[in-house]
A and B are shown apart, each in its own frame.
Chain A
Amino acid sequence: MRIAAKGLIDRTKPVTFTFDGKSYSGFRGDTLASALMANGVRLVGRSFKYHRPRGILTAGPEEPNAMVEVLDGASQSPNTRATVQEIYDGLAAQSQNRWPSLRYDLLSVNDLAAPFLSAGFYYKTFMWPRAFWEGIYEPLIRRAAGLGRLKPQNETASYEKAFAFCDLLVIGSGPAGLMAALTAARAGADVILAEQDSVMGGRLLSDDGTLGMPWVDATLAELRALPNVRLMARTTVVGAYDQGTYAALERVGLHLPAAPHLPRECFWRIVAGQSILATGALERPIAFDNNDRPGIMLASAALTYLNRFGVVPGQKVTLFANNDHARQAVRQLMAAGVQVAAILDSRADASTVEDCPVYLSAAVTDTQGRHGLTEISGTHADGAFKIDTDCLLMSGGWNPLVNIACHQNARPIWREDIAAFVPHSGMVPGLTAAGAANGAFSTHAALREGADAAVAALTDLGRTATAPDLPQAEDAPYRLQPLWAVPGKGRAWLDFANDVTVKDVKLAAQEGYTSVEHMKRYTTQGMAPDQGKNSNVSALAVLADATGRGIAETGTTTFRAPFTPVSIGAMGAGGQGAGFAPQRYMTSDQASRDRGAPMIEAGLWYRPSYFPKPGETTWRQSCDREVLMVRSAVGVADVSTLGKIDIQGPDAARFLDFVYTNTFSTLPVGRVRYGLMLREDGFVLDDGTTARLGDTHYLMTTTTAAAGQVMRHLDFVHQAYCADWQVRFISVTESWAQFAVAGPMAKMLLNALLDQRIDDFPFMTYGEVSVEGVKARLFRISFSGEEGYEIAVPTAYGEALFRDLLAKAETLGGGAYGMEALNVMRIEKGFITHAEIHGRITAFDIGMAKMVASKKDCIGKAASQRPGLMGPDREQLVGLRPVTKTEIGAGAHLFNLGDKVERVNDQGYVTSVCWSPTMESYLGLAFLKDGRARHGQRVRLVDHMRKTDVLCEVTDPVFLDPEGAKLRA
């Protein structure tokens, strides 16, 4: 019910929304919870386990009951807290965890089965027989488990992520946070003030106390006017990480009708020099029998609904409390004209001076009302009572919101005087708690602590600040007598969200789960979306009582980030679809796609797989044609993805000798040499060709896959072992477009294209040439076994050169070839790739032991000569050829004829296979024990994946032209 002239809502801006398909209206500034309450809706959800009718318990993000599904276009956001969701025109929300409807929920039979659903139910019930686990128990549990539902489609809504930096991060904008921000802002510090609510002010928006809105408005106006302050409303700080990094989630579009230009949420990483935890405190419920009916809520929530939203939660209100502060709620409700039936104070010595009946030594022991509270009963100093009431406010005192301070595993300390856990200094480096979050509950104390914390934080940052004069504010003492649970025979709820009662916690203790962490897991207390914000302290107090230990000794469970749930979409913002990884395109990309080439990923690069011709229906047809085309005429392939590292300096040669196993200082200028690079542990890191462009100038190529790794390795070797050598290097991979031109007509093609003839350009030579006046680098190298060249031009000319090369190649009966053909040709030649040098392979294994020069040291040399890295027991690179024309697959394992196919008899494995149109056979490269001594023998190739078992002949890995006559031609 709405009250006139109260609240911060805009009554000139009506808003229409639906809940469970029914239309309602509220005002701008309402949350879904306040608007439903204004419309007299009390039943808003069903509980998790027992499907009990539930109403609204709180007025904030800690809400355990009022969780709904919000339907927003294609999205459906489950477990949205109605106490946080702002209403907007067209908002459509629905209750969850009920079927067929909220009022008539069939699974509420669980409530009758409650005696069987106690703590440890799952562990006890779904044990035997073992065969039931997957087929019967798991589907059963899954159907009953979970609250809201997701839509099964991919998430299409947009999210963002962002970084922010500041001197001081203030978390929370109540009296402590506002004062801290003001103090630091006036001192010139760069301040971020983050507030989870849509409006700044924290409890000052609800208390209607001595300070109130005028001070909030004036303070916010001053902060807003300062250029060094950022006010971030609707931004929840959800985690504290190392070196002053905080995660925060901003609701950007969730409170507005569909706005295509806005993301739903933004995930922030805020880096702060210092930070102040001013998150306030949460009021705690009291456990008594049937304390979960709609209409039973926290006293502070009622105060918020009254003062912030102009709504009262009932017509005839009662209060059950153990402290003075809670009486504010009923006093203000009375002042607003609401009838208050009684104050039930659990204390014997509390004041009875109020404008309504006050009963001391009181205990509520039961409640009535199926879909909403109608009556409470219990005892007080004068005996038993029954009171008609539709709204019972409860207050068991306050828990400082210490979560963020505990995210780095420090534990809060128990303060007996306020019966609460509080943070201490140093829990998170640079973070100081102030105000109610620190156990200082009066408004005056919060203001003072906020100012003091800011002065101290700025001092730590080497700045000076002075605390402003504090405004007059309430400074009442916090009088409370702990009360966690009223003894009773029925179910008294601790954790509303997960349906955990006092009985469950006691049963856990009785069954030996006396550690708080064990109790939590056995009962599931604290494991619902509210993560126990409303129940952790009460539950461990009940546990402490049941085990006879103190609360301090019992301790808390671990507080983990995130503080409130964060959608995966927000954390992964930007990472959907093409955003998942960067995409690198070669200059020939468009030309390749124009020719219909399917592109495949090679690391981050996209490379053409093959170039289909009309009439070709399978990749194999295209691939076979391209191989034969290169072997008989000429082919062109873009090889720009190979890593290229430019190395210069007087010590460049010496450096290469150190990082390669073989020698490069002896390489003449204008020549190219194949190089093998080891890791320091003796295994092969990479291979490639390196050209000497000048006396002190080399150009190294790496494989596509290992380009980044090699650069990192070179940087390490240089900086760690020879930083004083005069050598510098840089990646030039993206500066040059490079094309392989291979085949018997390669020279003819280049002579037709280049500005000069290359008739005398021997194998493994480098030279400078030009194409239509553009300077180019020409290397005579071959990865196909044919006479081959690679021509490199500055990237800007890449596409034009590729198109020219193809046009000329086609006049010679040649054309483009893709990765498939490239792979076939290198297998035919026994050239290795990272399929072979996969990290467990030594130079010895690939037959290159002699390339580890004996006359000089190099990275990996000593380790490569360790026992076990050489010899007949090693699996060595061989070729394989099926005895009949049977298809073979990579990954298959090799066995001796006659041996049982068992792991212990494993002789090796296949790394690469192809159909060779040149040899008209399937070919494989493999690692086989003592393989080099077994050429000519036969082995059995067993592929459990493809279900093949093929007899193969072991051969030299070089199948084609072993003398290299063709590539030297």
Chain B
Amino acid sequence: MRLTCPLCGTRDRREFYYSGSEDYLNRPAEGAPIEAWDDMLHLRTNPAGVTKDLWYHETGCGSWLLVTRNTVTHAVLATELVAARKGGAA
């Protein structure tokens, strides 16, 4: 498997650390009901098809990447920097 880091280019998957769902990006605001935290922390859809998840270019540039890929075909459809995504600021 290979992923294209927007900063480093196409790299072998051994350079990356897999973290999990993109849901972790959607941090509830302070004071949000506990259900919102439960959703973000625990509830996953596990799709057969297109999914978005987080990968860390651990032995590369240290960027967190949002990767769009297909769990059925294994096609990687897009990679973007978590830091550069819209609404990325707290």
Enumerate chain A interface residues (CB-CB to B < 8 A): 163, 241-245, 269, 271, 408, 429, 680-681, 708, 711-712, 715-716, 718-725, 857, 862-863, 866-867
Contacts and interface: CB of A to CB of B under 8 A. Distances in A.
Given A242-B2, A712-B17, A862-B34, 11 more contacts: A243-B10, A245-B12, A271-B2, A715-B62, A716-B82, A720-B27, A720-B83, A721-B27, A723-B88, A724-B89, A866-B37
A719 B37 contact: no
Contacts of B75: 429
Contacts of A244: 2
B56 A243 contact: no
A712 B65 CA distance: 12
Contacts of A719: 63-64, 81-83, 88
A782 to B, nearest CB: 32
Interface string B48-82: 00000010101000111000000001111000011
Contact of A720 (B3, B41, B82): B82
A715 B2 contact: no
A429 B70 CA distance: 13
Contact of B58 (A429, A681, A712): A712
Given A723-B88, A862-B28, A242 B64 contact: no
A711 B32 CA distance: 27
Contacts of A862: 28, 30, 32, 34, 37
B1 interface: yes
Contacts of B54: 716
Given A722-B89, A723-B89, A862-B28, A163 B12 contact: yes
A723 B83 CA distance: 5
B90 interface: yes
Contacts of B32: 862
Contacts of B63: 715, 719
Interface residues of B, number: 34
B74 A680 contact: no
A112 B41 CA distance: 65
B40 to A, nearest CB: 8
Contacts of B88: 719-721, 723-724
A242 B74 contact: yes
B60 to A, nearest CB: 12
B24 A720 contact: yes
A724 B41 CA distance: 24
17 contacts: A163-B12, A241-B1, A242-B74, A245-B2, A271-B2, A708-B58, A711-B62, A715-B56, A715-B64, A716-B64, A719-B63, A721-B88, A721-B90, A857-B30, A862-B37, A863-B37, A863-B41
B12 A269 contact: yes
A240 to B, nearest CB: 11
Nearest to A712: B56
Nearest to B66: A720
Nearest to B29: A857
Main SS class of interface, B: mixed
Nearest to A858: B30
Interface of B: 1-3, 10, 12, 17, 19, 24-25, 27-28, 30, 32, 34, 37, 40-41, 54, 56, 58, 62-64, 73-76, 81-84, 88-90
Contact of B19 (A429, A716, A718): A716
A408 B27 CA distance: 36
Nearest to A243: B2
A608 to B, nearest CB: 29
A245 B74 CA distance: 12
Nearest to B32: A862
Contacts of A269: 12
A716 B27 CA distance: 12
A681 B3 CA distance: 28
B61 to A, nearest CB: 10
Contacts of B64: 715-716, 719-720
B12 to A, nearest CB: 7
Contacts of A867: 34
Contacts of A720: 24-25, 27, 64, 82-83, 88
A681 B39 CA distance: 11
A622 B68 CA distance: 56
Of all A-B residue pairs in the complex, the 4 with the closest CB atoms, nearest first, are A243-B2, A719-B83, A723-B83, A724-B89
A722 B87 CA distance: 10
A958 B12 CA distance: 48
A680 B2 contact: no
A722 B3 CA distance: 25
Contacts of A245: 1-2, 12
Nearest to B63: A719
A273 to B, nearest CB: 10
Contacts of A715: 56, 62-64
Contacts of B2: 242-245, 271
Most chain B CB within a 10 A radius of its CB, from A271, A429, A720: A720
A862 B40 CA distance: 12
A313 B83 CA distance: 69
Given A680-B41, A722-B89, A723-B89, A242 B1 contact: yes
A339 B82 CA distance: 75
Contacts of B19: 716
Nearest to A718: B83
Contacts of A724: 88-89
A730 to B, nearest CB: 9
Nearest to B1: A242
B19 to A, nearest CB: 7
A243 B76 contact: yes
A719 B63 CA distance: 8
Contacts of B90: 721-722, 725
A723 B32 CA distance: 22
A271 B13 CA distance: 12
A718 to B, nearest CB: 8
Nearest to B22: A720
A37 B83 CA distance: 67
Contacts of A718: 83
From A163, A723, A866, name the one whose CB has the most chain B CB atoms within 10 angstroms.
Answer: A723
Contacts of A866: 34, 37
A717 B45 CA distance: 23
B5 to A, nearest CB: 13
Determine which residue in A243, A244, A722 has the highest number of CB atoms from chain B within 10 A of its CB, and name it.
A243
A429 B73 CA distance: 9
B56 A716 contact: yes
Nearest to A681: B41
A33 to B, nearest CB: 38
A276 B47 CA distance: 32
Nearest to A708: B58
Contacts of B34: 862, 866-867
A408 B74 contact: yes
Contacts of A725: 90
Nearest to A856: B30
A244 to B, nearest CB: 7
B51 to A, nearest CB: 15
A867 B38 CA distance: 12
Nearest to B88: A723
Contacts of B25: 720
A269 B19 CA distance: 25
Interface centre among A241, A712, A719 (most CB of B within 10 A): A719
Contacts of B27: 680, 720-721
B11 to A, nearest CB: 10
A680 B19 CA distance: 13
